[in-house]
């Protein structure tokens, strides 16, 4: 059974709007988005290509500014946050998993996972120790010293998940994490996200239009044409041991 211990909100968006370009080129990417994400839940954000999913999570993760509306993340109004503070907030509180993995090709798996810790000032030895334990959690301990090009797509995505979790963020955001993976690897990835990424009090937003993964959601938010048009309970089924 899913419990939301305190119904605390990790993310609260109201009336968010965002447009790109102007005149003939103008695109209204968000047209008044309301969305709540609870601490401790896995919220899946679904909808057709171009409906505004990446734009919405870019605002939530402070990479992009909204034009209008409010966006509170972990109790902070991110729209009003100065640039210097955003970088720090992002580095401490948020973990990302991208569709394209975005690993640094010259660094080994363990070095890639260490990067967020090194950026926050942790000593190399301590960072690599922590990174190795995270790689073990995602089932990649044996390949910790391999370069990304020596790893399969699924293994590279495990490294990317490890890197997103290594600093123990309160919010993890994954943009189409399974779309470059075959069906079997995609399911493995969702198992890892559900099992490892769901720490107490941590919220997970998974953007996807891969309906094979819908069964992993606590709740689903469906977007259409720049709005969240429906939020429903997920189809999550407990896995039999």
> Which residues in this chain contact ligand ADP in the complex, by CB under 6 A?
20-21, 27, 29, 49-55
Sheet strands side by side (includes 42-46): 94-97, 171-175, 203-207, 42-46, 219-224, 227-233
Q: Which does 85 bind (CB under 5 to 8 A by kind): Mg ion, ligand ADP, none?
A: none
| Shortest separation between residue 208's beta carbon and ligand ADP, angstroms | 10
| Shortest separation between residue 15's beta carbon and Mg ion, angstroms | 21
What is the Cα–Cα distance from 78 to 11, expressed in whole angstroms?
10
Is the separation of the CB atoms in 169 and 88 below 8 Å? no
Of 166 and 181, nearer to ligand ADP (C-beta) is 181
Of 53 and 236, nearer to Mg ion (C-beta) is 53
Of 96 and 138, nearer to Mg ion (C-beta) is 96
What is the Cα–Cα distance from 46 to 229, expressed in whole angstroms?
11
Q: Which does 52 bind (CB under 5 to 8 A by kind): ligand ADP, Mg ion, none?
A: ligand ADP
Q: Which does 21 bind (CB under 5 to 8 A by kind): Mg ion, ligand ADP, none?
A: ligand ADP
Q: Which does 88 bind (CB under 5 to 8 A by kind): Mg ion, ligand ADP, none?
A: none
- Per CB under 5 A, contacts with Mg ion among 41-60 are 53-54
The neighbour count for residue 171, using CB atoms within 10 Å, is 21
E-strand stretches of the chain: 9-20, 27-38, 42-46, 68-73, 76-77, 94-97, 171-175, 203-207, 219-224, 227-233
Positions that interact with Mg ion (CB under 5 A): 53-54
């Amino acid at each position: 059974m899913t419990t939301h211990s305190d119904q605390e909100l990790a993310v609260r968006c109201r009336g968010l709007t965002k447009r790109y370009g102007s005149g003939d080129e103008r695109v209204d990417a968000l047209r008044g988005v309301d969305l709540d994400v609870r601490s401790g839940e896995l919220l899946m954000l679904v909808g057709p290509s171009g409906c505004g999913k990446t734009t919405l999570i870019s605002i939530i993760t402070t990479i992009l500014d909204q034009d209008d509306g409010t966006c509170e993340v972990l109790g902070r109004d991110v729209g009003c946050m100065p640039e210097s503070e955003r970088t720090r907030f992002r580095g401490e509180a948020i973990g990302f998993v991208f569709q394209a993995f975005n690993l640094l090709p010259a660094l080994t798996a363990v070095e890639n996972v260490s990067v967020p810790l090194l950026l926050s000032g942790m000593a190399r030895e301590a960072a690599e120790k922590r990174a190795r334990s995270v790689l073990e959690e995602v089932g990649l301990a044996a390949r910790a010293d391999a370069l990304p090009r020596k790893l399969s797509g699924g293994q590279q995505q495990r490294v990317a998940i490890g890197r997103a979790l290594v600093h123990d963020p309160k919010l993890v955001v994954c943009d189409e994490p399974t779309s470059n993976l075959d069906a079997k690897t995609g399911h493995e990835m969702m198992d890892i996200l559900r099992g490892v990424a769901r720490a107490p009090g941590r919220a997970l937003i998974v953007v996807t239009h891969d309906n094979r993964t819908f069964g992993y959601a606590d709740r689903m938010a469906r977007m259409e044409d720049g709005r969240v048009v429906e939020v429903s309970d997920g189809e999550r089924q407990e896995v039999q041991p």
